[in-house]
Amino acid sequence: MFPLASIHALGKVGLALVEILIGIGFAFGLEISGFSNSYVLTGQFYFRNGRVIKAMFTAILVAMVLIFASVAVGLLDYDVIWVDPTYLWPGVVGGALMGIGIIIGGYCPGTSIVSSTALKKDAWFFVLGGLVGTFLFSETERLFHYFYNSSFYGRVTLMDVFHVSAGVVVFVMAIIIVLTFWLNEWAVNKFKREDTQPYPTPRWAPIATVVVLLAAAGVWAIWPNWQQRWNQVAATQEPLLQQREVQISPYELATTINKTKTLQTVIVDVRDDYSYNLFHLRWSRHIPLDELLGAVPEFRKMAKETPATVFVIVSNGEDQATQAWKMLVAEKVPNVYLLAGGLNDWIKVFGEKDMAEGKIMEAKAAGNTQLLDYYFAEALGDRYRAADMLADPDNDEIIEKIKDQFVPKIKVKGPTGPAGGGCG
């Protein structure tokens, strides 16, 4: 799967050559697109021409379609692609300063380097000014360090913001980019200077537009649902279910809940409202199975912010919990486990006091693993002794007794992804 780890087999020299070739191609693309010409660059702000805007958005559009098409068919893992973290207000201020700098100086940092290699004197001065500015920033950053690191939101994508699939985002962005091209063309023709020669629209532009929109629509059409995502990882994940490596016993869950200083345990109850209201664990979150996918962005964010986070799925038995486990694993939520035997086994182990008091009575569910094997005197939810072990005065004694009655299965894995990257 991409990104190809095997590229390191080329060695340091080979990898350096690949990077040099990519750099040459990138610089060549900037040069032929007019990015080394300050007149062309600043012309975007005055609607004198639209070459730079068209080149940038075309590159974005092509890269976006190819990346997410590769993700859709399982060739590329989007999670290991670097996405710059969001610092909202510092980004707004920095963007405004950079925009002003481009208008006044005629370049951005990257295009000034390209122009300087073309022996353009104004670019040399711009690069020199950039180096001085970098030095001044490094020496004064402590004065505004708090603001510089404020409003941090981490890795934020349009999919996270609007809670839609990447396929939808690709198609909508393709439409927006095409409309931007049209508006830019209209603005250039309306506001161009009299001495500016009009740049005719290529004959193949309508055909290219249709092709791009069809490609974007194709990405949306083939974007996998969670079942298809599960099929892509089933070969490696299904054996964990079969070998019961992810089904943790009630004893281990009880012990894990007690480790509040070293672990953040998120218990997700995927049952219906009726079962949940009858009995549920005090520390659980109720997210019915048909609403679980909507919680995926939140879970992934929690796991990234607190790597020592474990998600435990509970249901009456194991059937619903197993399906929920597959959904979360397919959506790449890390450290997901399920309660072995469900809440039926939990009550069997920890419900003795409640049963002795007549609050919970044993029953038979006719072998239906979706149902509770117990009757309840009242729908007390989490107000049973078995539902809130941490409030039990004998909690420490209980934990001490059960700590050797299970084989630990929880293994917390850190987040995966690139350590850094980006442009500039």
Q: Following DSSP, what letter does each residue of 138-158 receive, concatenated?
A: HHHGGGGHHHHT-SEEES--H
Same domain, 52 and 64: yes
- Report d(CA 115, CA 37) in Å as an integer: 7
Residue 278 domain-assigned (yes or no): yes
- Report d(CA 78, CA 72) in Å as an integer: 10
| Boundary-marking domain end, from 208, 225, 242 | 225
Residue 9 domain-assigned (yes or no): yes
pLDDT of residue 405: 67
- Report d(CA 29, CA 51) in Å as an integer: 12
Same domain, 218 and 281: no
pLDDT of residue 417: 59
pLDDT of residue 343: 93
Same domain, 140 and 289: no
Same domain, 246 and 369: yes
- Report d(CA 288, CA 161) in Å as an integer: 22
Half-sphere exposure of 55 (CA within 13 A, CB side): 17
Q: Report in angstroms the alpha-carbon separations of 31 from 24, 57, 113, 125.
A: 10, 16, 11, 19
pLDDT of residue 83: 86
Give the chain's domain count.
2
Strand order in the sheet with 309-314: 247-248, 336-339, 309-314, 264-269, 284-286
pLDDT of residue 106: 86
Residue 418 domain-assigned (yes or no): no
E-strand spans in 59-165? 86-87, 152-154
- Report d(CA 177, CA 2) in Å as an integer: 27
Residue 415 domain-assigned (yes or no): no
Residue 107 domain-assigned (yes or no): yes
Residue 379, domain extent: 227-403
pLDDT of residue 247: 94
Q: What percent of the chain has pLDDT over 70?
A: 87
pLDDT of residue 5: 57
Same domain, 169 and 266: no
Q: What are phi and psi of 262, to 5 degrees?
A: -110, -20
Same domain, 120 and 63: yes
Same domain, 90 and 154: yes
Residue 408 domain-assigned (yes or no): no
pLDDT of residue 185: 85
Residue 340 domain-assigned (yes or no): yes
Reduce the DSSP state of residue 268 to 3 states and report it: strand
Same domain, 26 and 149: yes
pLDDT of residue 1: 47
Question: Which residues are registered as beta bridge partners of 311?
Answer: 266, 336
Same domain, 295 and 361: yes
Domain at 349, CATH number: 3.40.250.10
Q: Report in angstroms the alpha-carbon separations of 6 from 10, 20, 66, 188.
A: 8, 18, 21, 47
Same domain, 42 and 149: yes
Side chain identity, residue 359: K
Report which of 81, 83, 79, 94 is spatially closest to residue 150, judged by C-alpha positions.
94
Ranges of residues in the chain whose predicted pLDDT is under 70: 1-8, 193-200, 260-261, 364-370, 390-405, 414-424
Residue 139 domain-assigned (yes or no): yes
Same domain, 202 and 272: no
Same domain, 191 and 285: no
The pTM for the full model equals 0.77
pLDDT of residue 420: 58
